[in-house]
Each structure stands twice: as structure tokens, then as C-alpha cells.
Amino acid sequence: MKLGEVVKITGLSKRTIYFYIEEHFLSPEVNPSNGYYIFSEEDVERLKMLQQLRKADFSIKDIHAILKHPTSAYIYIQKQIDTLKREQELLAKK
């Protein structure tokens, strides 16, 4: 599917999608006749997952680590929960 379709499905901007490609989170095929990206359903699902991880405030560095070593995801999730709890406590004090 074309980039415009992926933008509509995911709600992500073209710039964000290009960033994720540059960060090697996904590698869509390239149409040899025009150089445009061709996205698969798997690419779209990966973008949706990235979107959710970013909404949960995971850093790009942590997302790379999670995707490289999926079995260690619980470590990063716990780290994120701890960070969010500390932030919540700070907000409650204010």
C-alpha cells in the first residue's frame, strides 16, 4: 500500500513514518519504477505498535532495545512504570 494510505490508517504523519524508516524500525519495499515505498500489512502493524509505545512515553532507544530483544520487554515496561509512578508522585506533591 502507498504512504498516503498508511497515513490514513495509522494517523501518523509522513514525517514520522520516514523517521521510523530512517531508524530502521521498518523496511518497506521500494517500487523500482518510481522509488516510492510500498508498505505491507506487517509494516502497518509495526507502525501501530510503535505508535502505542511512543504514546506510553517509551524512548526511541528503549524501543530499539525491546524490538532487538523482545524477551526483555518486561524490563523496559517495568522501568517505564517506575518512571511514570515517580512523575505521578511529583505531580501530586505540586
User: What is the domain partition of the chain in residue ranges?
Assistant: 1-55, 56-94
Q: Which residues pair with 29 in a beta bridge?
A: 38
Q: Contact 7/44 with Cβ under 8 angstroms?
A: no
> pLDDT by residue (tens digit) across 47-90?
999 999 999 889 999 999 999 998 988 999 999 999 999 999 99
Give me the phi and psi of 12, to 5 degrees please.
Answer: -80, 155
Give the model's confidence band at 12: pLDDT under 50 very low, under 70 low, under 90 confident, else very high.
very high
Residue 94: pLDDT over 90:
no
Are 34 and 3 within 8 A, CB to CB? no
User: Selecting from 3.60.150.10, 2.40.40.20, 1.10.1660.10, 1.10.3720.10, what CATH number does the domain 1-55 have?
Assistant: 1.10.1660.10
Partners of residue 30 on adjacent β-strands: 37
pTM: 0.83
**Mean pLDDT over the full length of the chain:** 94
Q: What is the DSSP letter of 46?
A: H
Q: Residue 1, Cβ neighbours under 10 Å: how many?
A: 15
Better pLDDT: 28 or 70: 28
